[in-house]
């Protein structure tokens, strides 16, 4: 029952986000969210969610979103091309995976 409720809430919120996005753009564009997958993964990983499984916190994800959005705005202001941001996001994901692996290794006693 919990899984069904969560899937229903997620689909409702996704639909609501689509409505908000179409209002913001003033038209419906079906592929407007394409390409955000890597950025969303980076935001959650920066926020503390491990890609190896385990747990994550909503507050950490909010901090990751704020941090990466601030970095993206800074990159745009400086004038770095958009493709360089994707490379930067990939480097952030790799670095955070290494940090998570290090933390996991230390907490489990080096197994």
pLDDT 10s digits, 24-42: 877 777 777 777 888 888 8
Angle in degrees, CA 54, 98, 66, rounded to 5 = 75
**Beta strand spans in 4-95 (E):** none
d(CA 30, CA 11): 16
| pTM passes above 0.85 | no
Single out the residue of 36, 87, 105 nearest to residue 65, CA to CA: 36
pLDDT-derived band at 109, boundaries 50, 70, 90: low
Over residues 87-104, the pLDDT tens digits come to 887 888 888 888 878 887
The pLDDT assigned to 29 comes to: 72
């Amino acid at each position: 029952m919990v899984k069904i409720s969560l899937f229903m809430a997620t689909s409702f919120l996704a639909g609501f986000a689509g409505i908000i996005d179409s209002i913001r753009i003033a038209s419906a564009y079906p592929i407007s969210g394409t390409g955000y997958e890597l950025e969303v993964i980076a935001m959650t990983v920066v926020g503390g969610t491990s890609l190896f499984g385990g747990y994550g916190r909503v507050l950490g994800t909010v901090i990751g979103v704020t941090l990466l959005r601030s970095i993206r705005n800074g990159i745009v202001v400086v004038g770095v091309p958009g493709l360089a941001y994707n490379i930067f996001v990939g480097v952030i994901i790799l670095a955070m995976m290494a940090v998570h692996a290090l933390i996991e290794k230390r907490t489990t006693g080096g197994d």
